[in-house]
Amino acid sequence: MNILVCISSVPDTTSKINFVDNDSKFDINGVQFIINPNDEFGLTKAVWMKQSNNASVTVLTVGEASVETTLRKCLAIGADKAIRIDCLPKDGYSVAKEIESHCNDVSYDIIICGRESIDYNGGIVPGLLAGFLDYNFVTNCVDLNVDGKKAVFSREMSGGTEISECELPLVVGSQKGLVEEKDLIIPNMRGIMMARQKPLDVITAKGISSLTEDKKFIKPEPKSEVKLVKANELDQLIDLLENEAKVI
Amino acid sequence: MSVLVYLESEDNKFKKSSYETLSYGKALADMMETDIFGVVFNCSNTDSLKNYGINKILKIDNPDFNDFSAKKFSHAIVDILKSEKIEVVILSSSANSKFLGAYLSGITDSSYVSNVIELPKSLNPFILKRTCFTNKAFSQTEVNSDLKIISITSNSFGLIENLSDPVIESLNINCVDSNHKILNIEKETGSVTIADAEIVVSAGRGLKGPENWNMIEALAKTLGAATACSKPVSDMGWRPHSEHVGQTGKPVSSNLYIAIGISGAIQHLAGINSSKIKVVINNDPEAPFFKAADYGVVGDAFEIVPALIEKLKARK
Ligand SMILES: Cc1cc2nc3c(=O)[nH]c(=O)nc-3n(C[C@H](O)[C@H](O)[C@H](O)COP(=O)(O)OP(=O)(O)OC[C@H]3O[C@@H](n4cnc5c(N)ncnc54)[C@H](O)[C@@H]3O)c2cc1C
Ligand SMILES: Nc1ncnc2c1ncn2[C@@H]1O[C@H](COP(=O)(O)O)[C@@H](O)[C@H]1O
């Protein structure tokens, strides 16, 4: 079985978010990039499936050379092979198109993406990709079992969990729960050494144009000072919520 | 070119978010000087929709659509797109709507913009404001796609009443074949879900253990609120994953967010920043949450929460 894990390389969760070029670009100065947390759950799951399903795991990023550090980390976690489609990602549409084009050349049984990325976080790429390829699709996936050509999986929906089955191929939007936080694979020295020997192929992008463009980024207004209420004057809090904020 | 709204329903009732999406859709249709249509799957009583300005209700009544399926619903909407001239499709931010929106964009080869919080700044070019970097920033996004699929953040626009006299059209749409079958749905009973909630009561590691959540649930019940928690609380299994909010959990965009025994780490705040009013209850006056909150109480949650419940009950 062939599994593709699509990796988005995102600013570390503690990063300060700033913009440059007239607020039209994210300022990468001093920012450390990590594997998108939702993708990391999916990657660990895929690496487990090497054992349970005799799977081979490829990781793929659409990005410039700087994302290779993130891809090497994925190889150290246990992916067999990495692919970088060489271009600056412009929007979810063009990224999904580039990935689709690769999936028309190499066929995968399961494509795992994160439910959403934590940077541009649209939750766009997995759905588009499934639609383009006409594959089955599940997002907010919290459980996945594959047996032969059949997958049984769960998804978190509002107010509950839905369990369903389908035939492969399948696009999965992964998140915490697909594997537990404590089970995430942390690369060890051996993994890091082995990662250096594993293939990292660079593919020329098709150069697909985007449909959306971030024209300008805006930071939220600074917050006004908190109003403190004394612990023994909770009536005042209720009054503020009721009459000032009008939220209860 | 009209506007189409997906009106999500459950157990023959529209979700509150449907009225908000419709309110937004109506305002957008007015801006575009066009009509607003809504598509409804298996929800018989559509009376309430006419309070929000809808011009035409497209009703699909077919048991094949009883269970939600992004694929089946998307293909049905594509059928509508073939017969009606639609420029914008609007969805809510519920789990199902976001699932549907992305897939629908894929099969129609069009753009999908999520987390939209305002009406377009201009129509030509079509520029939407959306949140990004998990609420640490906003983007003005220009959309250059003939068909535009957007989902709006809940509670960002509100409900706007607008009486109308809609045409109701029953559509005979066949369901596409799919080998994707739903086996079971496990419902959490009685609780308000985070995505739909106007008020969210959330608690963190300051609560010391899962046995202390009774008072959190009681406070939530008094306020008709959903319960949520910080990441370590769900990682330790004190509360289910579905309650984990923050940058790597669920986003919260409620009108009121009450954080109890939560320190206010940057990753937590990122996910809840788009809530309108934030209240923090924490015994450490230096907790970072006080910098992000509108109202705060410094003190012991084990004293404050029960007292607050009593006072809220007395008020009613
Ligand atoms: C990659 C990554 C992603 C993350 N994503 C998320 C995320 O999505 N969501 C999230 O929540 N976190 C996330 N975190 C974790 C985050 O950094 C914090 O560790 C976490 O939010 C802390 O949870 P807490 O506030 O419940 O616990 P703590 O930081 O331990 O805070 C407990 C608070 O309770 C207060 N307290 C103690 N006793 C009482 C009492 N009796 N009465 C009142 N107050 C009391 C304390 O003063 C303290 O402020 C992430 C971290 C990483 C590295
Ligand atoms: N540049 C990219 N390269 C590869 N995969 C991506 C890229 N951007 C997004 N993805 C995948 O799509 C998921 C959702 O991203 P988004 O649509 O940006 O929220 C991510 O979690 C990744 O799995």
Amino acid at B291: K
pLDDT, tens digit (0-9, with 9 covering 90-100), for B47-64: 999 999 999 999 999 999
* pLDDT number for residue B166: 97
* pLDDT number for residue B188: 82
User: What phi-psi label fits residue A13: left (phi over 0), alpha (psi between -120 and 50 degrees) or beta?
Assistant: alpha
Are B130 and B23 within one domain?
A: yes
Question: Does residue B178 fall inside a structural domain?
Answer: no
Instruction: Give Cβ neighbours of residue A241 (< 8 Å, ≥ 6 apart).
Output: A247, A248, B256, B277, B279, B295
* pLDDT number for residue B195: 85
pLDDT, tens digit (0-9, with 9 covering 90-100), for A20-29: 999 999 999 9
Question: Does residue B188 fall inside a structural domain?
Answer: no
Are B132 and B265 within one domain?
A: no
Are B205 and B92 within one domain?
A: no
* pLDDT number for residue A159: 83
Are B158 and B277 within one domain?
A: no
Which alpha helices (DSSP H) does A1-67 contain, by range? 37-52
Return the higher-pLDDT residue of B35 and B11: B35
**Nearest CA, atom 49, ligand 1:** B263
* pLDDT number for residue B192: 86
Q: How would you class A85 by CB atoms within 10 Å of its CB: exposed for 0-12, middle for 13-18, buried for 19 or more?
A: buried
Which of B171, B188, B221 is the C-terminal boundary of a domain? B171
Within 148-167 of B, beta carbons closer than 8 Å to A belong to none
Question: Does residue B127 fall inside a structural domain?
Answer: yes
Instruction: Give Cβ neighbours of residue A168 (< 8 Å, ≥ 6 apart).
Output: A109, A110, A136, A146, A149, A150, A151
Question: Does residue B189 fall inside a structural domain?
Answer: no
- Measured in degrees and rounded to the nearest 5, phi and psi for residue A203 equal -110, 140
Query: What is the number of residues in chain A?
Result: 248
Q: Which domain holds residue B272?
A: 199-315
3-state helix, strand, coil in chain A (%, to 5): 30, 35, 35
* pLDDT number for residue B78: 98
Per-residue pLDDT, averaged over B138-146, amounts to 97
Query: Within a 10 A sphere around the Cβ of A225, how many other Cβ atoms?
Result: 9
Per-residue pLDDT, averaged over B229-246, amounts to 95
With a pLDDT cut of 70, the percent of chain A lying above it is 100
Q: How far is B165 from chain A (nearest CA, A)?
A: 31
Residue B271: CATH number of its domain? 3.40.50.1220
First to last CA, chain A: 54
**Closest to B151 in 3D by CA, of B104, B198, B200:** B104
**Closest to B100 in 3D by CA, of B212, B166, B6:** B6
With beta carbons less than 8 A apart as the criterion, state whether A127 and A169 touch: no
pLDDT, tens digit (0-9, with 9 covering 90-100), for A37-69: 999 999 999 999 999 999 999 999 999 999 999
Q: Does B124 touch chain A (CB under 8 A)?
A: no
With beta carbons less than 8 A apart as the criterion, state whether B154 and B96 touch: no
With beta carbons less than 8 A apart as the criterion, state whether A38 and A104 touch: no
Look at the block and give the residue holding tokens 């967010």. B257
**Closest to A7 in 3D by CA, of A95, A94, A87, A90:** A95
Q: Nearest-5° angle of CA A33, CA A143, CA A159?
A: 95
Question: Does residue B139 fall inside a structural domain?
Answer: yes
Is residue B150 pLDDT above 90, yes or no? yes
Omega within 30 of 0 (cis) for the link into A169: yes
Q: Which of A97-101, A117-121, A208-212, B53-57 shows the lowest mean pLDDT across its residues?
A: A117-121
Report the chain A residue with the minimal C-alpha distance to residue B151: A122
The beta-carbon neighbor of B195 closest among A17, A158, A226 is: A158
In the CATH hierarchy, which fold is given to the domain comprising A2-215? Rossmann fold (3.40.50)
Query: Within a 10 A sphere around the Cβ of B27, how many other Cβ atoms?
Result: 17
Are B155 and B63 within one domain?
A: yes
The beta-carbon neighbor of A124 closest among B102, B235, B280 is: B102
Per-residue pLDDT, averaged over B25-46, amounts to 97
Query: Total structural domains in chain B?
Result: 2
Dihedral sign of CA atoms A202, A208, A211, A217 in order: positive
Per-residue pLDDT, averaged over B85-98, amounts to 96
Are B11 and B129 within one domain?
A: yes
Question: Does residue B236 fall inside a structural domain?
Answer: yes
Which ligand minimizes its atom distance to the CA of B132? 2
* pLDDT number for residue B75: 98
pLDDT, tens digit (0-9, with 9 covering 90-100), for B256-282: 999 999 999 999 999 999 899 999 999
Question: Could you tell me the pTM of the whole model?
Answer: 0.96
Is residue A157 pLDDT above 80, yes or no? yes
Q: Which residues of B89-112 are buried (b: 16+ CB within 10 A; e: fewer)?
A: bbbbbbbbbbbbbbbbbbbbebbb
Residue B46: CATH number of its domain? 3.40.50.620
Look at the block and give the residue holding tokens 């009685």. B190
Per-residue pLDDT, averaged over B238-252, amounts to 93
Which of B171, B188, B219 is the C-terminal boundary of a domain? B171
C-alpha A67 to ligand 1 mean position (Å) = 30
Return the higher-pLDDT residue of B11 and A141: A141
pLDDT, tens digit (0-9, with 9 covering 90-100), for B105-127: 999 999 999 999 999 999 999 99
Which residue(s) pair with A34 in the sheet?
A10
Are B100 and B234 within one domain?
A: no
What integer best gives the mean pLDDT of chain A?
96
Q: Is B290 in the pocket of ligand 1 (CB under 6 A)?
A: no
Beta strands B148-152 and B111-116: pairing type? parallel
Are B23 and B81 within one domain?
A: yes
